[in-house]
Structure 1
């Protein structure tokens, strides 16, 4: 397999004609290789991440077929306005740069997915409203204090991450986004205050677990916020419990701050729920002061319901080919997740990522476990104002999509269970509906 250096040399020799995807990551590039422009007739995806670039040439506009541009982990201080002239550009990533400014006219109307996580941006351009095709906007880990009113014109926006910024209040413009479905806003001044209130009022029975009492084994999984290991917990003399341990990373993720994920996890554990993975304790005494949680080890009969969205599907999950469920299993899954969401909402937690790829399912029974609190955000469960209204509407929409997707995978297309779940899907779009109402509607079908 050719290395990045090999690809760069072949590019310079003119031997990549007809190339649709070009990966030039991690090569220490400080200037854009102009030879890339010769690939204009064919180039669809260009990855320049993990270099030392700070600018792109105006000539990049000649890449008329370019759809995906990754420039994460570079040295861009200003968003390059030149790429707005690329007519088919739909996915752009400038995660973890030194970016502080986005000029007017720099954002292309063709954008569907814009990733600006972990920069120093303090304002979005007022003309962001031209991005009427925008579906995903990742802004966690910046210095934003407000969102432009013109964002309301981005009516297709479904996923928004504004965690770990400097908002003092919940942005009112979010109430004008009719398709907002997956929202994360933890780690801002207003949400930090709410998290502190919730943590003070809840009675926690999550015990501290000394790191020295844990024996880690193989890695079970790794995400942006942390690493999960299979582990043995020596609870007491002669008693060893098989567990899963999640050790959190410190860096900002696309969803927000790992510390906020741990806070939400602790709040969710204040009362157990059959559709949430039980938390056994919180790690203390880690030699590098890493934060961590100890979970019950899930039976191997549980698998991920779906994979995350692709570049093509953008906001919708990708299910394994051949996935199918009985009506009874489908009902058990969607009712369980709706009940888990209702449980979280009653405790002031918006999950923010009610997706099939965050669900573990026992395919035979349909019993489901909701995981991954990376996008979870604290809110006042009694709030009937803009924040509470937006949160409840977004989470209901997410549940509606889950029901819709599961029905497409259900082996029977008719019958009382299927018709009842279709009615529940319709209920999810009703103004003011709560996750509890959705869960109750599904529960009556069981």
Structure 2
């Protein structure tokens, strides 16, 4: 068992990973006794506000999580760890990010839900950066030097004070997932109110799943003498790494009907804690998740169980459904922002249901940036096709494999505006 007592007694000698959450107010010096082996350190959910000046003694440290603490300044000593790859300081009180605190070796930086008003231009030195999480801060602009991060694939900037979407995002060859709702430039449309469903007409059965933005439960809905099984999502109301839960709810409603979406039945009314929620069709039990979220190693790419194999019917079914749905969203001026296999449910016949609008953002279809934003999402679709092809079973026809491979390649063109629009992809996929 890992705890402070075990650390101080020497029981954890040789540990590669260490996690301590014991209301710590000071960094335990005994951690340095693990310097020869320690690669992963998690000090989240404590009361720390500083790191020791000699923090760089942890020369093998690759991953450091320090979320839910009391830091007001991102520590400069982070630069002293040469192998530091992933840093997470979510939900602190950080106001200042000193230039030196941005370790140029970083591949993944999480600063969600702080009070940051400005980023240093030195962040442009992070040539390895793939994933940057900045939602829930006070940023009014992003440094232009961020355009030097040519490996940046996922960018979360929702719930800030940005005046505009930087033009340089069109220069990023690998940017595929972006969320920007809740900023001064992003206008959330007024959507039609769904039928209101009284909370007291629902009998919650059991938990189906929980995400960053809310909890999904199975429930029975009674209307007169009839009882129907439904799914209920109650939003937590906190800023997530993707953005604001109310924006997710609006986006789901605005998406409209599509066979690739779980059908919405109504909105919750009269919740005892005044929380927002949606009632939707219960997904049939024979649907299952296509993939798993990215790991610390894969960073921006989904991971899959070793036994997962897809038939030709499944590959083409998934590809066509997601392209069609994405075309519908972008026609409405909406970016999903999280187009991934782990947000995709499938069955053995290739029927596909797509969800999780937590990273969705709205944009002006007439604006100059509109074409770029759609092509950024097309890149995410290209990576999804790449995943589908990697999971093919032996019976997939060579011509089908080649045709989808060619579509994947044009979707991943490093020049965003040279990628096709989603409707063009729909038209091409019809021929397969």
Q: TM (normalized to structure 1)?
A: 0.93
Contact 1:328 1:417 in 2 (8 A): no
Query: Aligned partners of 2:7 and 2:392: how far apart in 1?
Result: 48
Matched with 1:247 is 234
Matched with 2:199 is 211
Which whole-Å deviations, capped at 9, do the CAs of 1:27-62 have from their partners, x for residues lacking one?
111111111111111000011001110000121101
Which SS does the other structure have where 1:105 is aligned? helix
Does 2:188 align with 1:195?
yes
Matched with 2:349 is 365
Which SS does the other structure have where 2:101 is aligned? coil
Query: Aligned partners of 1:254 and 1:205: how far apart in 2?
Result: 26
**Displacement over 3 Å in runs of 4+:** none
Which whole-Å deviations, capped at 9, do the CAs of 1:299-355 have from their partners, x for residues lacking one?
011001011000111111011111111112100011111111111111121000000
Query: Aligned partners of 1:205 and 1:127: how far apart in 2?
Result: 45
Matches within 5 A, 1:77-116: 77-116=72-111
Q: 1:79 offset after TM fit, Å?
A: 0.2
Contact 2:410 2:419 in 1 (8 A): no
Does 2:400 align with 1:417?
yes
Which whole-Å deviations, capped at 9, do the CAs of 1:188-226 have from their partners, x for residues lacking one?
1211xx213xx2xx6x37311111211111000001100
Matched with 1:375 is 359
Contact 1:37 1:59 in 2 (8 A): no
Matched with 1:337 is 322
**124, 130, 140: which is aligned to 1:145?**
140
Does 2:313 align with 1:328?
yes
Does 2:255 align with 1:268?
yes
Matched with 1:237 is 224
Contact 1:276 1:370 in 2 (8 A): yes
Matched with 1:443 is 430
Q: 1:175 offset after TM fit, Å?
A: 2.1
Query: Aligned partners of 2:9 and 2:412: how far apart in 1?
Result: 56
Q: 1:171 offset after TM fit, Å?
A: 2.0
Aligned residues: 427
Q: 1:332 to 1:281 in 2, by over 3 A?
A: same
Contact 2:139 2:162 in 1 (8 A): yes
Does 2:395 align with 1:400?
no
Matches within 5 A, 1:126-205: 126-191=121-186, 194-196=187-189, 199=190, 204=192
Q: 1:257 offset after TM fit, Å?
A: 0.7
Matched with 2:275 is 290
Q: 1:414 offset after TM fit, Å?
A: 4.5
Q: Which runs of 5+ in 2 are unaligned?
A: none
Q: 1:138 offset after TM fit, Å?
A: 0.5
Query: Aligned partners of 1:44 and 1:149: how far apart in 2?
Result: 32
RMSD over aligned CA atoms reads 1.3
Q: Which runs of 5+ in 1 are unaligned?
A: none
Does 2:410 align with 1:427?
yes
Mean Cα displacement is larger for which, 74-83 or 415-424?
415-424
Query: Aligned partners of 1:361 and 1:102: how far apart in 2?
Result: 43
Query: Aligned partners of 1:345 and 1:50: how far apart in 2?
Result: 39
Q: 1:432 offset after TM fit, Å?
A: 4.4
Q: 1:13 offset after TM fit, Å?
A: 2.2
Mean Cα displacement is larger for which, 11-20 or 109-118?
11-20
Q: 1:390 offset after TM fit, Å?
A: 3.0
Which SS does the other structure have where 1:61 is aligned? helix
Q: 1:145 to 1:205 in 2, by over 3 A?
A: closer
